[in-house]
Every structure is written in C-alpha cells, then in structure tokens.
Chain A
Amino acid sequence: MARPLVNVPARARPGEIIEIKALIAHPMETGFRTGPDGALVPRDIIHRFLCTWNGQEIFSADLFPAISANPYLAFTALATQSGTITFRWIDDQGGAQVHSVEITVA
C-alpha cells in the first residue's frame, strides 16, 4: 500500500502510559465523488486499523469515509513488557500494510 509513519518511544518504564501515533499515506477515496467522466469514483478506504503488543490487541479502529486522507491515529498504551508493537492497516482492496517497531520496557 504505502509507507507508514509511526511514532513510538524507544524505551519506557513498566506501568508508564506511552503515546503512539500512526500515519499512513492513503487517498481514502470516499466513493461519493465523481471523476472527470461524471461517474462515481469507487470507494477505496482503510476500513480497519489494529495495533498489537506482543500479539495482544491493545487498540483497534473501524474507519469510515469521513476519516481524512492519509489517516492519522493517536492513542495511548500501558507499557508492560519489552517486545514488538505491530500496526496493521487493512483497505477495501483487501490489502494490508504491516509495520512493526521494537520497544524496551525496563
């Protein structure tokens, strides 16, 4: 799909609440716009976003056409153990963009 941009602190203390920001380049075509030929441009949006920490889901979102192009999501997470935070964006074409970052909790 596209190159995502995520912002996660490299290290955190146990029990600390960290802020996670995730941005991805995507047109988020609503399906309500007409193209140059007057026909509706088919809908193509990211309708699902998931964030897992060592495989456990910590946050997810169902998105609708009212979300801006290049969807941006910022949320928080409770730091428990070191590991991998995985982000997954799923669009209407069935394509998924997966991105992982490492975090050290000590």
Chain B
Amino acid sequence: MTAPHPTIPPVASRRTVLALGTGALASLVVRPAAATPEALRAAIAEFTKGATAQPGRVRLDIPLLVENGNAVPLTVRVDSPMTAEDHVRRIAVFNEKNPQPNVAVFHLSPRSGRAQVSTRIRLGDSQIIVAVAELSDGSLWSAQAELIVTLPSCAED
C-alpha cells in the first residue's frame, strides 16, 4: 500500500491567479490595429499620394511604455543599400492622437550612407506611431508601433 498523495487543492493557487492576472491585463492592452483614425489615414495618403504602403523593410525603434510623453526617443531604420540606383528618398513619421497627425519628414540621399534617423518626439496620448519610407524606385514601405504613455506631453502645467 502506498501512502496517499497529498491532494492538490482544486482551488487556484496564488501563483496561478497572479499569472492569470498578468495575462488578462496583457489581453486588455492589445487593441485592433485597424482602428487608425481618419486624420492619420489622410496624412499618410497625402504623403504616399494615395498609394498604399506595404508593411516591411522599415524598423521603428521606440519604447513601448513611455513614462514622459514630452521627449520620446525614436529611431527609424530602413533596410536599403543606399546606392545611387537604390536608396531611400523620404521617411515620414505619423501619429494617431496628437493634435496633428504629422511628426516629421526626413529627406535622404545616397550621401546619407545609411537609412537611419533618430529624434525625440512628443506624444499626447497612448497611441499608434506609423513610419512610411519612400524608396528611389517609388515603392512604399511602412512599420507601425503601438505604445502606452503614462504622462502625456499635453498634461504639463
């Protein structure tokens, strides 16, 4: 006869409750990516002259959890050899919920060496940031990031 195993109580342990809790929070944070407001779409269409940018080749480095929306470091990189025949002509950055959808437009050339630009931006709310790159052959590529801002830039004073 073997001694009965100590029964595991069917109630959820503290550990499982905590694990569930973080999971539930994470699922709350994920929102549909298609919810880009009209102003953002209009600003992108103005930059692309109505053409649609395909996702890829652009990398957007931005913290996903921002403590201070007054100065958010942002780096955009585009996968390109930057030669006279094949280079990035322009990179535009857009936001969803600031008073204006435009953030910046960077003009590059083969003399840029690398398609990489860093700056600091203001964010008035938790929102989606979109970067669109226009290449020398006219093709358009984009990337987007969704981030959470705990202290928005407009909450100051």
**A residues in contact (CB < 8 Å) with B:** 17-18, 30, 32-33, 53, 56-69, 71-78, 80
Chain B positions 105-149 with a Cβ under 8 Å from a chain A Cβ: 105-114, 116-123
**Nearest CB on A from B152, distance (A):** 12
Instruction: Tell yes or no: B39 within 8 A of A by CB.
Output: no
Chain B positions 57-71 with a Cβ under 8 Å from a chain A Cβ: 70-71
Cβ 8 A contact of A74, one of B104, B113, B119 = B119
Complexed CA–CA distance, A66 and B26 (Å):
28
> Inside 8 A of A64's CB, which chain B residues have their CB?
100, 102-104
9 shortest interchain CB distances as A-B pairs? A17-B113, A78-B113, A74-B118, A68-B120, A58-B111, A68-B71, A62-B105, A64-B102, A66-B103
Q: Which chain A residue has the least Cβ–Cβ distance from B156?
A: A33
> Inside 8 A of B103's CB, which chain A residues have their CB?
64, 66-67
Q: Contact between B122 and A77 (Cβ–Cβ < 8 Å)?
A: no
Q: Contact between B117 and A75 (Cβ–Cβ < 8 Å)?
A: yes
Q: Contact between A76 and B154 (Cβ–Cβ < 8 Å)?
A: no
Q: Contact between A76 and B114 (Cβ–Cβ < 8 Å)?
A: yes
**Nearest CB on B from A60, distance (A):** 4
Complexed CA–CA distance, A76 and B117 (Å):
8
Complexed CA–CA distance, A68 and B112 (Å):
23
Q: Contact between B112 and A78 (Cβ–Cβ < 8 Å)?
A: yes
Complexed CA–CA distance, A101 and B123 (Å):
33
Instruction: Tell yes or no: B48 within 8 A of A by CB.
Output: no
**Nearest CB on B from A39, distance (A):** 15
Complexed CA–CA distance, A62 and B90 (Å):
11
